[in-house]
Amino acid sequence: MRLKKLSFAKINLFLHVTGKREDGYHELCSLMAQINIRDELDFFFEGSGIRVTCDHPLVPEDKTNLAHRAAALFFHTCKKKNRPLPLDGVSIHIKKQIPPGGGLGGGSSNAACVLMALNDYCSTVFSKDELMGIGLELGADVPFFIFGSPAIATGVGERLEKYSNLPDLYLVLCDPGVPASTVDVFKNSVFRLTSGPDYNMNTGLNALLRGQGVEGREKLHNDLEASACRLYPEIGSAKEEMEFLLKRNVYMSGSGSSLFALFSGPETAGKAYELLAEKWSQGPKKVFLTSLRR
């Protein structure tokens, strides 16, 4: 049997680091939303064991792949909780569109997609909350993709509060052509940690929602951007060029490297996309025209 599922990317509309825990993880306050850039995952429920393949050369196909880890954890948890399954294994093929290492949650989205697909195929052996708990073992972003709605994320990103007041937003997004390491970006960041999550959340929301429109004058913030630009100068130079060409603010998603500009209508976003696509038709940069998912 073959099953096809879509695995969507996300952006962090703002991201503030609010503290550091004793275990070394940082606490965050971020507004996260899925966007219409997506991978396609094909599931083949036949044979035994787990096999993952991908059409992107930078994505591993071994046990380090998050999709592989998600399937293994699903089977392990079912066995641990004595929940019988109608299958012994799965083969997964990933058709990649989400840039790896771009701060768009591609690996986490794939992992969440695997958990949800296996859960559906197995007649919902886990509730949504249980599945989110399993996802958290794989990474802090995984529960968000299972949650399925725009959300204010706090803690290490696992505490999610649904946010329903986002205006319709269109994005021109750039992959600068260099993947960023989340671990390295955090290690090389200097955080002031002078304000709490409530302050940071209200600051970001007020900037984004003022007038219920986005015309390039909003002031959003990502505490990881300075570190990412120091480690990967290509991110900073691409951001400067985007801001110069588009005449509006440009932001980085997550720990980088993807950059985005916000628009309130599809026409202005489309013109901006065409400008960048023509300018960067040669070279490593890739440009996407997309929108928020509800």
* Catalytic site positions: 10, 141
Phi (first) and psi of residue 183, to 5 degrees: -60, -45
Q: Is beta strand 88-95 parallel, antiparallel or unpaired with respect to 48-54?
A: parallel
